[in-house]
Amino acid sequence: MRLPSRTSIAFIVALAAAFPLLQACAPTATRESTGEYLDDSAITAKVKTKLLGDPTISGFAISVETFRGRVILAGFVNSQAQVDRAVALSREVSGVREVQSALVIKSR
């Protein structure tokens, strides 16, 4: 009977050591894969840029979070028209699947 070579043993050990790292990148119901995280980060940046560039709303007062293409807007605005505008701008961004508003209209 022939014993495995050192190269084969090293490969098996390296594979066994890498397995937990591969599992860490796997998506679950509450955790994104690395690719999804990068996609969502890009979506967040694009939405935030659109909000900051719009003269009718204060993009600095709105936070943006994205999880699997679902954008959540939070913060304070002055009117329902600003809420509607922020949601509409967010929907224009490529990759956005859904927009959820948690924006609050400030009372005067």
Mean pLDDT over 1-12 rounds to 62
Asked if residue 98 is part of any domain, the answer here is yes
Quick check: 21 pLDDT over 70?
no
| Tens-place pLDDT, residues 24-49 | 555 555 666 777 778 899 999 999 99
Domain housing 43: 33-105
Average pLDDT over every residue of 62-70: 95
> Is residue 18 one of the residues assigned to a domain?
no
**Beta strand pairing status for 98-105 and 62-67?**
unpaired
Answer whether residue 62 is part of any domain: yes
Predicted pLDDT at 34: 75
3-state secondary structure the chain: CCCCCHHHHHHHHHHHHHHHHHHHCCCCCCCCCHHHHHHHHHHHHHHHHHHHHCCCCCHHHEEEEEECCEEEEEEEECCHHHHHHHHHHHHCCCCCCEEEEEEEECCC
pLDDT in tens, 68-79: 999 999 999 999
* pLDDT for position 84: 97
Residue at 90 is within a domain:
yes
Residue 57 maps to a domain: yes
